Amino acid sequence: MSAKLHTNRYGKSRVRLMRVTRHEGHHDVDEWTVQVLLTGDFETAHTLGDNSKILPTDTMKNTVYAVARDSKATSMEDYARELVDFLLGRNPQVSSAEVVIEATLWKRLHVDGKPFPTGFMKGSEERETTTVSRAQGGTFSITSGLDRLTIMKTANSGFVGYIKDSLTTLPETTDRLFATALEAHWPYTDKAIAAGIDFNKVRHHLREVMVAAFAHHDSLSVQQTLYAMAEAALAHTDIIDQVYMLMPNKHQLLADLNKLGKDNPNHIFVPTDEPHGTIEATIRRA
């Protein structure tokens, strides 16, 4: 039997980085988890065990910290671009490099009713994300987003008119709790990347637009609300042309209190994560 290497890439994952930026009178912090992936001429490493074209993944880890030390980037997207450029510039055997970053949220402490300049507390499980890649001699591809944004509404949500067969036990409702852990990401257009983007500002605005759409939407299904949120994001800016949305339905089940001799007028619920509905879609500009 003969075999041929088809595709391959390798890199370093889950490189943890905390960056403190010291300004006059206050500090800012960024906590990033970084993944580096390289594609290139690595066939002989697989077929012959020849490592002469292999950059050690431990060196990639060190590169993450070294580039961060000298970086002036104010966003993880711009830092990722610096990291990609550094790796491609030093490694001609690498045809393309991709950097994926997930940011953990830290909030400034409030002490005596005022923001404390050097104190922080960890935020929710929400994460900010980006994937940045470039081929040798090519232009950047940048996709940004957010993940694990847990949101819930206690009104304006129902689910009726669905298929009912011999295995259906779910009752229709026009008044249910709607909870989800949103994942969303959007690629920026080539034109916008070339012109320059304030990545932090855009992410903040798109997040606020989607959260507002979730809150205001009179939901007939998770699918309908997902579409409304993506539609609001596309209407907000022309520097993106599509949005991917993943919205698991984090069920809040109405507790059966009949056996306790009590009614339950949509008052007591049982939160459950498993099993849960999974709804995803990519919405593009028409």
Active site residues: 12, 57, 251
Alpha carbons 59 and 73: distance in angstroms, whole number: 22
> At which residue do the structure tokens 């980006």 appear?
130
Alpha carbons 99 and 95: distance in angstroms, whole number: 14
3-state secondary structure the chain: CCCCCCCCCEEEEEEEEEEEEEECCEEEEEEEEEEEEEEECCHHHHHCCCCCCCCCHHHHHHHHHHHHHHCCCCCHHHHHHHHHHHHHHHCCCEEEEEEEEEEEEEEEEEECCEEEEEEEEEEEEEEEEEEEEEECCCCCEEEEEEEEEEEEECCCECECCCCCCCCCCCCCECCCCEEEEEEEEEEECHHHHHHCCCHHHHHHHHHHHHHHHHHHCCECCHHHHHHHHHHHHHHHCCCECEEEEECCECCEEECCCHHHCCCCCCCCEEECCCCCECCEEEEECC
CA-angle at 120, arms to 77 and 21, nearest 5°? 45
Structure tokens at 150: 């847990």
**Residues forming a β-bridge with 251:** none
